Amino acid sequence: MHELGITHEILEIVLRYARRHRVTQVSKVLLEIGELSDLEQEWIQHYFDAISRGSVAEGARIEVKKLPCRFFCRQCGNEFVTTLTNDEPLICYGCGSEAVEMISGSEYTVKSMEAT
């Protein structure tokens, strides 16, 4: 259900941009969502449809691009992308160190909009 709150934030961003640029209709919103985020496109679309009624964003289609998890190795400075599993320890592909930190993978961003 946390999609509702986040969808409100997304709509606020879209409407703020629309007012600033005198947009009359938003037809598509592209979101980038980190692989670890549990946001579901179908629920975001469902809530967006409900809360955007009567606005310039009514009827806009939500598209989601999933972003992979990116990590940084504090040992060797390597940046790498991987899929997390519970079966294997997270180690640097360059040096084998476990001194890694996630730099992206749980975020969400309004990347672009199609509007007239």
Percent of the chain at pLDDT exceeding 90? 82
pLDDT value, residue 15: 98
Q: Does the pLDDT at position 69 exceed 60? A: yes
Q: Does the pLDDT at position 92 exceed 90? A: yes
What mean pLDDT is reported for the chain? Answer: 93
pLDDT value, residue 104: 92
**Cα 37 to Cα 40: distance, rounded to the nearest angstrom:** 9
Between the alpha carbon of residue 24 and those of residues 47, 64, 95, 101, the distances in Å are: 21, 23, 53, 43
pLDDT value, residue 38: 85
Q: Where are the alpha helices (DSSP H) in the chain?
A: 2-20, 41-51
Which CATH number fits the domain that encloses residue 71?
A: 3.30.2320.80
> Domain of 59?
2-115
Q: Does the pLDDT at position 34 exceed 90? A: yes
Structure tokens at 53: 């009624």
Q: How confident is the model at residue 30 (pLDDT cuts 50, 70, 90)?
A: very high
Tally of domains in the chain = 1
Burial classification of residue 98, based on how many CB atoms lie within 10 Å of its CB (0-12 exposed, 13-18 middle, 19 or more buried) = exposed
pLDDT value, residue 3: 85
* Mean pLDDT, residues 78-100 taken together: 88
